[in-house]
Structure 1
Amino acid sequence: MNPLRIWTDGVCTDSRGFGGWAYVRLWNREARGTAGGERQATTPRMELTAVLRALTDLADIPAPTPITLHSDSAVLMMGAGQLAAWRGNGWIDAKGEPVVERDLWEQIAAITLVRPVTFVRVDAAPTDKRPEGFVSAWSDFARERCKASGAFTWAIPKPNMAKFPAV
């Protein structure tokens, strides 16, 4: 069975500002992606939103398909390793505090219970010749578009997807 590969990125202007997120998925040599922006966002929230949006865009992918999700997010990598502990501890972290962005983590955790997902850390300084650079450029674009016109979500156009470096 062909694996599904996903690249995600999220970005925010400051601690609570305009945010952008994007993901691109590659399956059977077909790439497609989505980008979006939100106001009053944080970088961790945008990173997790990208992951959640990617993991909910799986209606056409058979359930046993292995998924490799690439991200530069330290928050995601740390949290992905803690999902079982958090769930078992009532969504309280090791410090005894409520898990930050619990609403997103709970949804990600539910998907990882029924879908085989492997999280892979990628370089935080991507180049435009690599898949993570392409996705990073779209999350930056989404943040800037959100500044100009507010929250949105839309598919990355097919002519742009034809330039995705991993195809």
Structure 2
Amino acid sequence: MTSPAVTLWTAALCKQDPGYGGWAFVRKTDGESGAATIKGAAGGERRTSPARMSLSAVIEALTSLSDLPPDTPVTLRFADPALAGELVASDGAYATAEPEAWAAARALVAARPVLNLVPLATSAPQTGFLAAWAEFGLDTSKSRGSFKAAIPKPNLMKFPA
């Protein structure tokens, strides 16, 4: 039996001073019968950084794969243009600015031997969907503090996968 293919999309944003941030991810799993399942989440934090939000999106997306074998083929499409380089740099800006989040993201990447990292174009339709949910995370964190919530199924049905 072959493992299903999985595609993850991530995006994050952060407004400096006072440092509110949001992130979002969507996971699409292609089933054996041709049917796909889709799920996603968004969240946000206060007093955060762009690096932390980008890494949080990756951490949450890769953590969502815990129900799948480690050798499941995964494509991670990310809106942060610096992310792939930062995940492989041992002393990059993200490792320096957010060492705990960077270490957690690196460990999750290392646990997935079949992981393809692909930048997501700013003009891609998925980028707008994810940016809207990351902004929701940012706005909600202003009043609620740190949080994470599932993206409702009716909204996910509009995801341009």
TM score, norm. by length of structure 1 = 0.82
| Maintained 8 Å contact 1:9/1:135 | yes
1:147-158 equivalent positions in 2, closer than 5 A: 147-158=142-153
User: Match of 1:121?
Assistant: 119
2-side partners of 1:133 and 1:16: how far apart?
24
SS of alignment partner, residue 84 of structure 2: helix
Q: 1:150, CA displacement in angstroms?
A: 2.1
SS of alignment partner, residue 134 of structure 1: helix
2-side partners of 1:117 and 1:109: how far apart?
12
Query: Which segments of 5 or more consecutive residues in structure 2 lack a partner in the other structure?
Result: 31-35
Judged with a 3 Å threshold, the aligned counterparts in structure 2 of structure 1 residues 36 and 101 are, in CA distance, closer, same or farther, namely same
Query: Which segments of 5 or more consecutive residues in structure 1 lack a partner in the other structure?
Result: 87-92
Matched, 1:34 2:33: no
Aligned length, in residue pairs: 152
Find 1:102's aligned residue among 90, 99, 102.
99
The runs of at least 4 consecutive aligned structure 1 residues that moved more than 6 Å come to none
| Maintained 8 Å contact 2:19/2:46 | yes
User: Match of 2:67?
Assistant: 60
Cα RMSD, aligned residues only: 1.9
The amino acid that maps onto 1:147 is: K
Q: 1:15, CA displacement in angstroms?
A: 5.3
User: Match of 1:162?
Assistant: 157
| Maintained 8 Å contact 1:48/1:104 | yes
